[in-house]
């Protein structure tokens, strides 16, 4: 392959406005917080940043608003090495997540989708970039029409389609049929299969839990998707391939002292797309992505905690020696 892999991410972009305060305000209450941080966020932007830092030539297809936040977001994406030439500017507000974090790490969040809601169709330039890419990476925080169009465009052009089905929602058949690899966490997998009650938090599952239920979930998802990766935080991930007789394989995560698990899934998906685009096999890609996810939980915040390639490589080599 000539040069680094080309990854196109189609998805959401928000500005996360984060304030730390001694406690979360109740109804009608005002609390005094610390200084405001304005940080790039949204699953699409986070995964584009993750892919770029992991070494891809990454182009982001998304929408920001015509307000000042839109410019901040564009600058932060570009500073992480993401190609923002296909980023649209829609009249009106940028997507914003208002986040209050208290002294024990509990948070309260309000999301205003803003310009993300305008990402309903692709342009010719978007389609050309997707057709020229090695991997298309999508999530479900933007209108499903454009996600579906992107996936179908990729499939017709021979570009691999990776879907991180987060947050969980019903998927049109056209989208399901175009996906080469599905990435979900346990909560999303449960919602998509109804095998476990929706709303169950993956942190409720101990790291040493019997993996029989997880294997059953992956097997059920393999009825609809040819390749499935199910992530379970510190317990690692489970990988299943429909065409193959290896069964569902467990890839343990590196053991780390987690500080903040926000965006671990985004670091994982972005790095996975890069490794897969480099032509590495799926188990190896899952290991490398697990190293990226594990490093991301060592620092506070979402996009600022997403690791660069050297840090991923270091953790990967230290963890998976065979």
Nearer to ligand ADP, 135 or 271 (CB): 271
> Cα–Cα distance between 134 and 150 in angstroms, integer?
13
Question: Torsion angle of alpha carbons 286, 275, 181, 300, nearest 10°?
Answer: 60
| Secondary structure of residue 269 in the 3-state scheme | helix
- Is residue 237 a contact residue for ligand ADP (CB under 6 A)? yes
- Is residue 254 a contact residue for ligand ADP (CB under 6 A)? yes
**β-pair partners for 92:** none
Angle at 195 between CA 150 and CA 148, to 5 degrees: 10
> Cα–Cα distance between 312 and 315 in angstroms, integer?
5
Q: How big is the site for ligand ADP, counted in residues (CB under 6 A)? A: 20
> Shortest Cβ distance from residue 184 to ligand ADP (Å)?
8
Of the candidate spans 21-29, 60-68, 135-143, 228-236, the one that interacts with ligand ADP by CB under 6 A turns out to be 228-236
Which of 234, 241, 275, 312 is in the footprint of ligand ADP by CB under 6 A? Answer: 234
- Is residue 207 a contact residue for ligand ADP (CB under 6 A)? no
> Cα–Cα distance between 30 and 322 in angstroms, integer?
55
Task: Give yes or no for a contact between 202 and 232, defined as CB atoms under 8 angstroms apart.
Answer: yes
> Cα–Cα distance between 265 and 222 in angstroms, integer?
20
- Is residue 10 a contact residue for ligand ADP (CB under 6 A)? no
- Is residue 233 a contact residue for ligand ADP (CB under 6 A)? yes
Q: How far is CA 74 from CA 8, 77, 88, in A?
A: 16, 5, 10
- Is residue 43 a contact residue for ligand ADP (CB under 6 A)? no
Which of 58, 100, 253, 274 is in the footprint of ligand ADP by CB under 6 A? Answer: 253
Of the candidate spans 29-37, 62-70, 252-260, 276-284, the one that interacts with ligand ADP by CB under 6 A turns out to be 252-260
> Shortest Cβ distance from residue 71 to ligand ADP (Å)?
28
Q: Indicate which residues carry an active-site annotation.
A: 266
For 82, phi then psi, to 5°, come to -85, 135
- Which tokens sit at 46? 């986070």
- Which tokens sit at 187? 């909560």
> Shortest Cβ distance from residue 15 to ligand ADP (Å)?
20
- Is residue 231 a contact residue for ligand ADP (CB under 6 A)? yes
> Shortest Cβ distance from residue 188 to ligand ADP (Å)?
8
> Shortest Cβ distance from residue 319 to ligand ADP (Å)?
10
Q: How far is CA 315 from CA 289, 304, 318, in A?
A: 10, 18, 5
- Is residue 209 a contact residue for ligand ADP (CB under 6 A)? no
- Is residue 236 a contact residue for ligand ADP (CB under 6 A)? yes
> Cα–Cα distance between 110 and 97 in angstroms, integer?
6
Which parts of this chain interact with ligand ADP (CB under 6 A)?
185, 202, 231-234, 236-237, 253-254, 256, 258, 261, 264-265, 268, 290, 293-294, 297
């Amino acid at each position: 392959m000539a040069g680094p892999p080309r990854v196109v991410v189609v998805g959401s972009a928000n500005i996360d406005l984060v304030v730390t305060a001694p406690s979360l305000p109740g109804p009608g209450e005002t609390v005094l917080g610390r200084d405001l941080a304005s940080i790039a966020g949204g699953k699409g932007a986070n995964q584009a940043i993750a892919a770029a830092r992991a070494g891809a030539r990454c182009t982001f297809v998304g929408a920001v608003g015509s307000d000042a936040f839109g410019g901040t977001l564009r600058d932060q994406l570009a500073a992480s090495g993401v190609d923002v030439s296909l980023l649209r500017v829609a009249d009106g507000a940028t997507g914003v997540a208002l986040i209050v974090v208290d002294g024990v790490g509990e948070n309260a969040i309000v999301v205003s989708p803003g310009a993300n809601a305008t990402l309903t169709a692709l342009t010719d330039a978007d389609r050309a970039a997707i057709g020229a890419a090695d991997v298309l990476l999508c999530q479900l925080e933007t209108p499903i029409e454009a996600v579906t169009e992107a996936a179908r465009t990729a499939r017709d052009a021979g570009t691999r389609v990776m879907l991180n089905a987060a947050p969980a929602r019903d998927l049109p058949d056209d989208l399901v049929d175009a996906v080469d690899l599905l990435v979900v966490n346990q909560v999303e997998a449960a919602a998509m299969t109804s095998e476990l009650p929706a709303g169950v938090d993956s942190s409720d599952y101990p790291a040493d839990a019997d993996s029989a239920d997880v294997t059953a979930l992956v097997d059920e998802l393999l009825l609809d998707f040819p390749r499935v990766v199910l992530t379970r935080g510190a317990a690692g991930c489970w990988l299943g391939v429909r065409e193959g007789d290896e069964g569902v394989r467990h890839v343990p995560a590196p053991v780390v002292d987690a500080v903040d698990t926000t965006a671990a899934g985004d670091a994982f998906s972005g790095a996975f797309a890069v490794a897969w685009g480099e032509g590495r096999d799926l188990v190896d890609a899952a290991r490398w992505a697990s190293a990226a996810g594990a490093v991301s939980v060592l620092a506070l915040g979402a996009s600022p905690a997403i690791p660069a390639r050297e840090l991923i490589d270091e953790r990967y080599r230290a963890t998976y020696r065979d």
